[in-house]
Structure 1
Amino acid sequence: MFAELEGVARTQLGLYPSLPGPELAAAAREAAGVLDLVAADVRVERTWTADGLDGEELSWSVGFGPRTRAYLLKPAGANGPLPGVVALHCHAGMKWAGKEKIADGPEGPSPEVRRLREEIYGGRAFAGELARRGFAVLAHDVFVWGSRRFPLDVPDGPLSEADRYDRAAREHEHVVAKHCAALGTSFTGVVAGEDLAAAAYLRSRPDVSVVGCAGLSGGGLRAALLGAFDPGIRAVVIAAMMSCFRDMLGGHVEKHTWMLWPPGLPRLGDYPDLAAARAPRPLMVQYAMRDELFPEDGMRRAHTIIGDRYAQAPEAYAAVFADVPHSFDVPMQERAFDWLGEHLKG
């Protein structure tokens, strides 16, 4: 049935046109209902120095829900403006934690976070590793994660409270998406609005010069959206989150968050078109070639589409094909850190 429906939709709606980048980004932002949010009433909740880093725990309000919590990490004793990176946490079916998946506060990671890092991050908190290389790195919770999560009724059981919450949250995401749609926005639009607010805050700091962003999986999707919608993002790293929509039909759609399906996007372009709408500004895409969440054909088609978008500035598009499952492992991180250094420290 879906194959037949695809044929009808292609004929009647003209799917995946190739709009110019700025036009595509503006139309996609409008279609997704991206909210214009501001990180207001920013407070420094506490500071610390550990493991070669100076850390700040920040909080701010975006105008609804609990205050956003964030970590800002810099090399200990750093003076003068540093290049900034918005480090975007993944989805990974873990909503109890947000920023903690990729950045350490003074308490260190929980057992659940440590387990996740071993599975997909090479055992590292990549935001801290990046900060040690001379960056000011902001890792913030976003809508429905960590400090921004919903209060849910979590049944008793043998699992930890965090694992029990995450099980309940999996069944709640479609409710969140429906409420967002009923309000004229989308899950994608709310998350992107909060990330835009975080990036604007980082850029406003006197200790930050230029700003890039990076993320794995759901964080890679957030990086793609931030890079498309914010012209002030100097360089973008997307790890293990790239494929054409058309190749994901019939086996891969159900594996992904509602964030990946902003309303109306296929009538404007395919997902890699949107990620590359920022051309000729720098973009790195890391393809995990044994990724169980994306078909290889979809990744390779995406690479071709992005390459075409960057035909006038091929040096600005870096494609990394890693023979790994869905992950942002240590070698991938190191490639990304070096590339961000080239484009943000020059």
Structure 2
Amino acid sequence: MSKAIIKSATGIRTILIVILLLKLSITSFAQQAISDVGNFYPVLDTYAAKDNSSLSYLAKDRKKTEKWRRKAKAKLHELLAFDPEPAPLDPQILETTKRDGYTQYLVKYNLNALQQTEAYLLIPDNLTKPAPAVIALHDHGGFYFYGKEKHTLTDDQPVILKEYIDNLYEGRTYADELAKRGFIVLSPDAVYFGSQKLDPAQTSPNNAKAYYSNVTANESENIRAFNKFASAQEIPMNKTILTAGTTWLGMIAQGDKVAIDYLLTRPEVDPEKIGCIGLSLGGLRSTYLFGLDSRIKTGVVAAFSTTYQHMLKEHARHTWMMYVPRQYEFLDLPDVASLNAPRPLMVMNCKQDKLFSMEGMQAAESKLKAIYTKMIAPDKFACNYYDVPHSMTIRMQEDAFAWLEKWLKQDKE
């Protein structure tokens, strides 16, 4: 055999060995890289596992359910850390639009002494007595320019909004569908969205420049530029919120509770039949509103269900709005929803959801199912899975409507 052939064979063997070593290295890396925080995961996971969820209903034998509920709600309220100076609602009707089967009101009211919000109020036609009401809580989706408009019908929708509704809701504004079915619906803007969105003109010149330099004559492009600007500002926003001694979710939850206060000023509303529903961030908002406020009689959470244990491994895609320092020490995410148990709760999960793992969704389901079973009310908890990406499809909406009709339109809770 010539030296050239031997040299060539040796070179091929070397390349094959290198390829094999690379494959082994990649496999080993994949096995170790189980978290967004890599080698920091073991210490954080170990720390988080120490006496976590101490106020969960499952943490011990809770012989006095109401005493547990009061203690857990008080601790969560403390952790959310937002107690602004109150103010009268001072509600105003800004616009009135007659639609098919209901009337849409654009309303405005005070959240506290320093903040206001706008909301759409939908009142069905021909009500003869106080009717059940649903608070429809909008999503995040990286779409800050609008809030309530993402699931409530508006005229002259820009292309970017229409495409968004097509993508997440299969083209249907579910708040209006609820109104057509006899529910009074309130869709309020959350902090940082819609009527409460960030004003670029009041941010620092360097930050504002990033937005204004992209403003054009195209409405959808301007909205896209604003959404990009607002997304980048989430980090300084949350840093400032934490420095101020409060939490972003605390601010959102306080506003959502005031939505109930507003509904109760309306004579059309049956105060004993109020529910809440939301997708994504709206699902998180629904979780906290349902858990914190006993005036909510039933809840629907869409595409926002997991446990913190599973979020420790991967949550890079989530908004800064959801984090509450030290909450895991006392209450896991499904524990929050359980604070209103055994009131009826439906959770809807998307099998193709890239924001949550199937293991996390199933773990949350198991925890809530165990709590409702322990409270001898397994029929008041439902958890459905849909083979779709992160969304609230028409089929999901129909299941949610059936749930709300079952628990809000019957005579007894």
| TM-score (ref. length: structure 1) | 0.94
Give the counterpart letter for 1:15 in structure 2: N
Read off the aligned partner of 2:406 and give its amino acid letter: E
> Can you give the 5+ residue segments of structure 2 that lack an aligned partner in the other structure?
1-38, 58-67, 201-207
Measure how far apart 1:78 and its partner are.
3.0
Matched, 1:4 2:42: yes
What is residue 131 of structure 1 aligned with on the other side? 179
The offset of 1:108, in angstroms, is 4.4
Which residue identity is paired with 2:264?
Answer: R
Amino acid at match of 1:243: T
Match of 1:86 in 2: 135
What residue in structure 2 maps to residue 156 of structure 1? Answer: 213
Map of 1:203 onto structure 2: 264
Contact between 2:102 and 2:179, CA under 8 Å: does it hold in 1? yes
2:134 touches 2:275 (CA, 8 Å); kept in 1? yes
Rg bigger for which structure? 2
Picking from 208, 231, 237, the partner of 2:294 is: 231
Measure how far apart 1:19 and its partner are.
Answer: 2.8
> Following the alignment from structure 1 to structure 2, what is the Cα–Cα distance between the partners of residues 200 and 31?
22
Deviations 1:161-219 (A, max 9, x none): 11111000111112222222122210010000000001221133210002100000000
The CA distance in 1 between the partners of 2:290 and 2:88, in whole Å, is 18
Where 2:297 maps in the other structure, the secondary structure is strand
2:344 matches 1:282 = yes
Q: What is the 5 A alignment of 1:317-332? A: 317-332=381-396
Is the partner of 1:310 in helix, strand or coil? helix
Question: 1:121: Cα distance to partner?
Answer: 0.7
8 Å Cα contact 2:56/2:332 also seen in 1: no
Corresponding position of 1:215: 278
- 1:111 alignment counterpart: 159
Q: Tell me the distance in 1 between the aligned counterparts of 2:48 and 2:78.
A: 22
Q: In 2, Cα distance between the equivalents of 1:181 and 1:115? A: 34
> Aligned AA for 1:71?
Y
SS of the residue aligned with 2:364? helix
> Is the aligned partner of 1:333 residue 2:397?
yes
Structure with bigger RCO (C-alpha 8 Å, 6+ apart) = 1
CA distance in 1, matches of 2:113, 2:145: 19
Q: Indicate conservation of the 8 Å contact 2:87/2:113, yes or no.
A: no
C-alpha RMSD of the superposition: 1.7
Encode CA deviations 1:279-323: one digit per residue, 9 max, x unaligned: 111111001111111000000010000001111210110111111
Q: Name the SS of the counterpart of 1:70 in structure 2.
A: strand
Higher helix proportion, which one?
A: 2
Seq. identity, % = 32
User: How far apart are the structure 1 equivalents of 2:409 and 2:383?
Assistant: 20
Alignment coverage as a number of residue pairs:
343
Taking the aligned partners of 1:183 and 1:246, their CA distance within structure 2 comes to 28
Segment of structure 1 superposing worse, 155-164 or 284-293: 155-164
For 2:342 and 2:179, the matched residues in 1 are separated by 26
Shift of 1:66: 6.0
Please state how far the C-alpha of 1:325 moved relative to its aligned partner: 1.0
Distance 1:9 1:160 in 2: 45
Which AA in structure 2 matches 1:6?
Answer: L
Match status 1:302 vs 2:364:
yes
Task: Please report how far the alpha carbon of residue 64 of structure 1 lies from its aligned counterpart in structure 2 after TM superposition.
Answer: 5.4
Q: Name which of structure 1's ranges 292-301 and 151-160 shifts more when overlaid on structure 2.
A: 151-160
Write the distance in 2 (CA, Å) between the matches of 1:170 and 1:265. 25
| CA–CA separation in structure 1 for the residues paired with 2:346 and 2:287 | 10
Amino acid of the structure 2 residue aligned with 1:303: E
More off after superposition, 118-127 vs 2-11: 2-11
User: 1: CA distance between counterparts of 2:139 and 2:87?
Assistant: 22
- Sort the Cα spacing of 1:259 and 1:108 in 2 relative to 1 into closer, same or farther, 3 A: same
